[in-house]
Structure 1
């Protein structure tokens, strides 16, 4: 992979991380406050929902970190290694965690009869997008394991 492509991907990952961090720190608390003021009957859900969203941000940032590690392995021409398989495994686990947290959050909001359809659609879109990432990572991890096994067999043959 060319150095410019790797640099572009690193900048994109850092940009995504900074944007999500800024939204979590600056926009999300204000949105929760404004929503609690506009809908006082749901004000008791302000902090649990905020905590749930922050809980999903943790595996998201861990997945971004592992993606940067994966790019570092590619940059050092060490993409076909056990370290890359481990990074993909961690990304897969982060995706599973995000899906579980969003499903739990949606069920809790439905049980309290507080799920607005727009929020439900956003939650389902996030779940499906994360599911796509999970499946892609699992397939990539399996392919990388197979390639490593073939590489080790070829090294033993020669």
Structure 2
């Protein structure tokens, strides 16, 4: 695979990482301050959700780093290696951790929606949960396929 084809993906991953980092640094604190000023009861339910989002940011960035490693392995012609399988496994675990965190915080989303009388807030929690479940499933499928490809490659290397 040419280096240019992975360069676009690397840039996309870096852009996503920068956007999420900017939201963590500027967006979430501004949201918390505004909520605290306007409605303290609303803030009581919002703060635990924001803390969950900050905690979920850690495995998110670990997963992004692992995705960059996979793209680097592809550039180095090591796509079908045990290193790529391990990176995909870490991406899967990071996505599972993120979905678990949001599943645990869904009651908080519900209470926040009841407080603000906005049922769309629960949908946001569900989207965050199911998006990470989809990523975990996709990473697991890719990991299994790549594991089988690595096994076939090692058999062929031993045959020759």
Q: Same fold (TM over 0.5)?
A: yes
Q: Relative to structure 1, is the Cα distance of residues 58 and 139 closer, same or farther in structure 2, using a 3 angstrom cutoff?
A: same
Structure 1 residue aligned with 2:70: 70
**Residue 58 of structure 1 pairs with residue 87 of structure 2:** no
**TM-score when normalising by structure 2:** 0.91
Q: Which 4+ stretches in 1 moved above 6 angstroms?
A: none
Structure 1 gaps, min length 5: none
- Quote how far apart the aligned CAs of 1:37 are: 2.4
Provide the C-alpha distance between the structure 2 equivalents of 1:52 and 1:127, rounded to a whole number of angstroms: 12
1:117-128 map, 5 Å: 117-128=119-130
Aligned partners of 2:137, 2:109: CA distance in 1, in Å?
27
Show structure 2 runs of 5+ residues with no match: none
Q: CA deviation at 1:108?
A: 3.6
Give deviations 1:28-74, integer Å, cap 9, x for gaps. 11111212322221333343222111001111000000000001100
SS of the aligned residue for 2:107 comes to: helix
The question of whether the paired residues in 2 share the 8 Å contact of 1:95 and 1:134 is answered with yes
Alignment size in residue pairs: 156
Partners of 1:33 and 1:46 within 8 A in 2: no
Counterpart position of 2:20:
20
Q: Which of 115, 133, 136 matches 2:135?
A: 133
Aligned pairs for 1:4-153 within 5 A: 4-110=4-110, 113-115=111-113, 116-153=118-155
Distance 1:157 1:3 in 2: 31
Task: Find the aligned partners of 1:9 and 1:65 in 2 and give their Cα distance.
Answer: 12
**2:112 aligns to what SS in structure 1?**
coil
Q: How many Å apart are 1:133 and its aligned residue?
A: 1.0
Aligned-residue CA RMSD in angstroms? Answer: 1.4
